Amino acid sequence: MIVKDELLSKLRRYFALNLYEVKLWAALLSRGVSTAGELSDIADVPRSRSYDVLESLEKKGFVVMKLGKPIKYIAIPPGEVVDRVKKHMSLEAQEKIKRLDGIKKSPLLSELETLHTQGIALVDPNDLTGCLRGRHNLYNHLDLLIKDAKKSVNIVTTEKGFMRKVEGLRSTLEKAKKRGVKIKISAPLTKDNKEIADSLKAVAEVKHNTKVNSRFMTVDSSHLVFMMLDDKEVHPSYDLGVWVKSPYFASAMDGMFNSAWNLK
């Protein structure tokens, strides 16, 4: 049996299996029913490992062990396997979320917060800078900074960036607004995002901007996150930003923001 490496790689990624597991599973699918020894030869997996790996696949719901001797294994239909894996992943995710929610109410979080507070007090403000790789990480950090905002959040972004930020940060922006934070967003407004801009009126001041072609956010004239690349030309996975905690730099960017904001 010849199975392309690309297929094995996809199986590993989608079903969270190791290499031996996907090799033996693919071999069994091609046979329907087979012994561990036969599958070991077909899949080029050491016989000493095949029984352990097949037992693992059985526990995960990919195969069934047939009664009788020699011991044989039966392949579960792939569609059923997908349903089983989905159910298992969902239950596992719920359990992890439950454990993490439990940490919020436990002494462990207090201990972690104390460690962080003591550690951050020793850090030179000049060291509070960071590189943010990937749009997912970028937005996570924007979300974090907005959660801690006390006075102001100023955002300059692109047409598509505006829509992404409203989608990903709306809840956090709404909470910041309720705390009294003043939120301003400057972005190109078009027929594609005008409705979104209108829906944000109760949360932020939004102004049309085509003069400043940039992507950055300041928080409380203290934190600055600026994106290094054009979002029209970079894949989200390779987007890149820099976070700086510098009142001097952030205030300067706020000055530029306000100058552009006040232009008619």
In whole angstroms, give the CA distance from residue 152 to residue 110. 28
**Strand arrangement, sheet containing 63-66:** 33-35, 72-75, 63-66
Strands 152-156 and 129-133: unpaired
Omega of the bond leading into 236 within 30 degrees of 0 (cis): no
CATH 1.10.10.10 matches 5-81: yes
In whole angstroms, give the CA distance from residue 183 to residue 171. 13
pLDDT at residue 136 tops 80 = yes
17-26, 123-132, 185-194, range with the lowest pLDDT: 123-132
In whole angstroms, give the CA distance from residue 256 to residue 211. 12
In whole angstroms, give the CA distance from residue 217 to residue 127. 19
pLDDT, residue 66, reads 84
pLDDT, residue 107, reads 81
pLDDT at residue 179 tops 60 = yes
Task: Name the CATH architecture for the domain at 125-261.
Answer: 2-Layer Sandwich (3.30)
Tell me the one-letter amino acid at 147: K
Is residue 69 a contact partner of residue 37, using CB atoms and an 8 Å limit? no
In the predicted model, what is the mean pLDDT of residues 117-134?
66
pLDDT band at 53 (very low <50, low <70, confident <90, very high): very high
> pLDDT higher for 143 or 119?
143
pLDDT at residue 165 tops 80 = yes
In whole angstroms, give the CA distance from residue 175 to residue 189. 24
- Joined together, the tokens standing for residue 119 give 């550690």
- Give me the residues paired with residue 74 across strands: 33, 64
Is the Cα torsion angle 10, 16, 18, 22 positive or negative in sign?
negative
- Give me the residues paired with residue 227 across strands: 241
What residue segments make up the domains of the chain, in order of their start?
A: 5-81, 125-261
pLDDT, residue 68, reads 79
pTM of the model: 0.61
pLDDT band at 108 (very low <50, low <70, confident <90, very high): confident
In the predicted model, what is the mean pLDDT of residues 103-126?
68
pLDDT, residue 209, reads 86
Candidates 37, 109, 28, 115; CA nearest to 75 is 28
pLDDT band at 117 (very low <50, low <70, confident <90, very high): low
pLDDT, residue 164, reads 93
Give the percent of the chain with pLDDT over 70: 94
pLDDT, residue 262, reads 82
pLDDT, residue 238, reads 93
